[in-house]
A and B are shown apart, each in its own frame.
Chain A
Amino acid sequence: MSEPPLQDNLTGHEYDGIREYDNPIPGWWTWLFVAAIVFSVLYYMAYQLGTAGTSVAQAYDAEVTANLRMKFEEIGTLTPDEPTILMYLNDKEWLLFGQKVFVGKGACASCHGKDGEGLTGPNMTDDAYINVKRLGDVGTVIQHGANNGAMPAHINRLHPNEIVMVAAYVASLRGQNKPGPRGEEGSVIDPWPEAPAPQAPVEPTD
């Protein structure tokens, strides 16, 4: 294969046998470089010189508002007390929501097992409880913790509605009697009260 003839001019420089062509800088290189500079100036002006609504914090706030609306628009903000928990105890859709909080955001599964069967924390699927005497206590323990921090408080970590749903989910596990490493702990308590008949969504509280 023969070398194609090259018309380029040499600069006349030579270093240890290395020579240099005097070729011009490719046009596409120059123009992409210029375009990047122009874009950068415009971008900085658009985002950093005080344009309203463009900051990361503002974008985040909008995202959170939209997300809360998507999640809770139909139910408003709930109070994690016994009647409210009871109301959601048989609501399949919201129990699924509670289950996601249980394994995820609430980090409950890390101690109580993925399905509530117990691990370093007690089994949630049997009829015996340590700090729960009635349904409302489930919400209280989740909010404020128990047993000297063995059960951490979640009041700063979860939205009140998330506490309601995860409490309802935990309560719904009762009676599944999944085998876990810890066995029955505490004492057997009375069954949960009868769930009310499904009803129309409650009025938003705010």
Chain B
Amino acid sequence: MTTTHTTAPTDPALSVPGTLERFTYDDKIVRMFLLATLVWALVAFLVGIIAAVELAFPQANQLLSILTGGIVSSEYITFGRLRPLHTNAAIFAFAGNTIFAGIYYSTQRLCKARMFSDLLSRLHFWGWQLIIVSAAVTLPLGITQGKEYAELEWPIDIAIAVVWLVIFGGNFLMTLIKRRERHLYVALWFYIATIVTVAMLHVFNNLVIPVFGGTLIKSYPVYAGVQDDFMQWWNGHNAVAFFLTTPFLGLMYYFMPKAADRPVFSYKLSIIHFWSLVFIYIWAGPHHLHYTALPEWASTLGMIFSLMLWMPSWGGMINGLLTLRGVWHKVTTDPVLKFFVVAVTFYGMSTFEGPMLSIKSVNALSHYTDWTIAHVHAGTLGWNGFMAFGMMYFLLPRLFQTKLFSKKLAETHFWLGTIGILLYIIPIYVAGLTQGLMWRGLTDQGQLLYPRFIETVTQLVPMYWIRVLGGTLYMAGTLLGAYNYYMTWRSRPKTYEEPVHEAPALTKGYTDPPPPESKIHGVTDFGHKLDVWMQFQWHRKWERLPVRLTLWVLVAVVVASLFEIVPTFLIRSNVPTIATVGPYTPLELAGRDIYIAEGCYNCHSQMIRPMLAETERYGEYSKPGEFVYDHPFQWGSRRIGPDLAREGGKQSHNWHVLHFKDPAQITPGSIMPPYPWLLQKDLDFKSIPLRVKAMTILGVPYTQAQRDNAEELARAQAAMIAGEIVEQNGEAGLEDKQVVALIAYLQRLGTDIFKTPEPQAPEGGD
């Protein structure tokens, strides 16, 4: 070992030793979660690859349906329905189970205690898997709240709250309380922040009014328009922060020094970057909403807090990478460290790119393009995925108490994964930049250079094919990992050894060491105090008080949230009302629910930004007052297809009918899949009064007549539209089909603001 010496006094000298206790660790639960990690990883990647193929080859869903003999109807596997399934599987199933495996393994060892309750651990495992399975069933069926990363409907949301906070959170906190290690290691702080904050985000973003009646699983969020969208990205951004970052930093802090057998680089950096990260991350959500109808002050806050977040994020990266000082040679031979090093490097890259993308003028180019997609995949495939696989190879020999089946296969997995990531992100970066630049290109005469949206789509298709290749390589690596897992498991002993550990129980009478003295000279008293403060002994005290630490984390995230949420909800000038904007008619409301169920928002935005290239393409930019009855908002985050905020009146009804039937027939090169079932399936008129009633509870001003006669009104409007379709030389008999409701909704979009008494063209004269 190297020449190191200790400066701080060690604990045992200061405390009365408690009675010696004997205990074992529950590694079975870790094995369960690790297996689930691998299974869901394969599912998430497979769904991702299918979704990727659909963008390059839009007939893929029909082809897949034929290949499965029609068992999987093409309706359930359109991109709009698969994309939420992919994101939920990747984040909550794959990353989620990774987190749980790592937390259950490390927490027991860091606390010198078995998990508080084996029963709670099992309930957590099976509860979470059940949640994932219900997500996998409901999302393809179109049962969704229609908010990205918060798609799951209310019964599943309640299950998540119970399993996450009560079962997992309770079990974890009680383990901390029953621990035999006096102080909490930094990994545990990150776990605490994860549990507390995810629970808060999940509950407040998913406050909904359910629509009751029949077999309907449907709800509307209590927030509308600007506020709903603000809450959603407060949640969405912090899902990245507190589901994909803080828990994985915790895992890094445990597994990286373990695998490298080196001390962590800097305890002080751990403290500073932990608290700054937890406090600052929460503010950054509005950077997803630059140039939208969100009030500008909120968007500016989102940007500057993202910039301030750069160093707190990098604190984790340097603490990880500098821990490897002196042992870099191990990285060349150990696949575990290889995965970790690349993971942390991708973390550093993503957390530099994130602040950069949050700068408004950069975001003006990148927003709605594939650039964002490349950014998140660098983060998830690189950082989360490689942390998960590194941890898996670390755990396999320890959990199955045998040698890893093949180090060479693990190496191959590493290289396949790395090349896979590069082949995924590089073409998608190119696609994002290409699309962003094509959208904004103007001719010398001030017109759009590429006025047809489809030109900006067909240009990307070759990139989409390379992405399919990259994703396939990444999944091939994972399959090698699965084989390695299986073969290692096969050579496990007949019965696992369960080593018994010994440690003294914690006693009450603990005194902290005396406060350090300032050794610097020539400064004021304040300077001395600051110097002492910077020794962080006050923090050392917090580290042995888990409840207090938890409360401070809660204070940090709640205070930061309230600073943004309270003004957004209370200041009326944030959402100037527009007199001519009214609620959707009952039929339009039903059509909107079809729009949500089909996942249209996954490809189409409804938010025109105040930029010339956007208003030239789509029409007048979107105003906050236009969305006051939108429960939920449908602004979207990606334009795989064109924006629809001003779609109303742009095309004829019959154009929409023909377009839904076969988009490529109307727009050659279109990558939108056909939706023939919209013309065949009956609209559920019976449920429309229930939908109107739920909206009324939320404060949408439907008249008494609309509430009493919602179904009749809807039927009348449907008959009118169906009649017009016939007059436009379209097919007859559509008055009770879903397509009519959806067309009614689309023809309403963005038209209300033109109902002003002065018939003024949107751009007027000069």
A-side residues, CB < 8 A to B, are 1, 3-13, 15-26, 29, 32-33, 36-37, 39-41, 43-44, 47-48, 55-57, 59-60, 63-65, 67-73, 77, 97, 100-101, 103-105, 107, 109-111, 114, 119-120, 147-153, 155-160, 206
Number of A-B contacts (CB under 8 A): 232
Determine which of A25, A150, A153 lies in contact with B728 in the assembled complex, contact meaning CB atoms within 8 Å. A150
Quick check: A22 and B7 within 8 Å, CB to CB? yes
Determine which of A7, A9, A56 lies in contact with B610 in the assembled complex, contact meaning CB atoms within 8 Å. A56
Determine which of B257, B269, B447 lies in contact with A25 in the assembled complex, contact meaning CB atoms within 8 Å. B269
- Return A156 CB to nearest CB of chain B, in Å: 5
Quick check: B311 and A33 within 8 Å, CB to CB? yes
Residue of A nearest to B1 (CB): A3
Please, how many residues of chain B have a CB less than 8 angstroms from a CB on the other chain? 86
Quick check: B445 and A71 within 8 Å, CB to CB? yes
The 6 lowest CB-CB distance pairs between A and B, nearest first, are A104-B451, A40-B304, A60-B610, A33-B311, A150-B728, A19-B263
Does B326 make an interface contact (CB < 8 A)?
yes
Quick check: A40 and B724 within 8 Å, CB to CB? no
Quick check: A148 and B728 within 8 Å, CB to CB? yes
Which chain B residues in 605-657 approach chain A with CB under 8 Å?
610-612, 615-617, 619, 621, 646, 649-655
Q: Main secondary structure on chain A at its contact with chain B?
A: mixed
Given contacts A56-B610, A149-B653, A64 and B304 within 8 Å (CB-CB): no
B-side residues, CB < 8 A to A, are 2-10, 106, 109-110, 112, 181, 183, 185, 254, 257-258, 263-270, 272, 276, 291, 296-297, 300-301, 303-305, 307-308, 310-312, 314-315, 318, 325-327, 329, 443, 445-448, 451-452, 610-612, 615-617, 619, 621, 646, 649-655, 658, 666-667, 724, 727-729, 754, 759, 761-763, 765-766
Given contacts A15-B110, A100-B448, A206 and B765 within 8 Å (CB-CB): yes
Q: Given A12-B8, A23-B269, A157-B762, 17 other A-B contacts at CB below 8 A?
A: A9-B5, A18-B257, A18-B263, A20-B270, A21-B265, A32-B310, A37-B308, A57-B610, A60-B612, A67-B612, A68-B446, A97-B445, A100-B448, A101-B451, A110-B666, A120-B655, A120-B658
- How many Å lie between the Cα of A206 and that of B765 in the bound state? 9
Quick check: A67 and B446 within 8 Å, CB to CB? yes
Determine which of A36, A69, A101, A120 lies in contact with B307 in the assembled complex, contact meaning CB atoms within 8 Å. A36
- Return A53 CB to nearest CB of chain B, in Å: 13
CB<8 Å pairs between A and B, sample of 16: A1-B329, A3-B2, A6-B3, A6-B326, A15-B110, A20-B264, A26-B269, A40-B308, A63-B611, A71-B447, A104-B617, A111-B652, A149-B653, A150-B654, A150-B727, A153-B649
Quick check: B448 and A55 within 8 Å, CB to CB? no
- How many Å lie between the Cα of A63 and that of B440 in the bound state? 13
- Return B667 CB to nearest CB of chain A, in Å: 7
Quick check: A103 and B654 within 8 Å, CB to CB? no
Given contacts A48-B297, A105-B617, A56 and B724 within 8 Å (CB-CB): no
Determine which of B257, B304, B650 lies in contact with A107 in the assembled complex, contact meaning CB atoms within 8 Å. B650
Quick check: B452 and A104 within 8 Å, CB to CB? yes
Residue of B nearest to A9 (CB): B7
- Return B531 CB to nearest CB of chain A, in Å: 12
Quick check: B766 and A65 within 8 Å, CB to CB? yes
In the complex, what residues of B have CB within 8 A of residue A41's CB? 304
Residue of B nearest to A161 (CB): B765
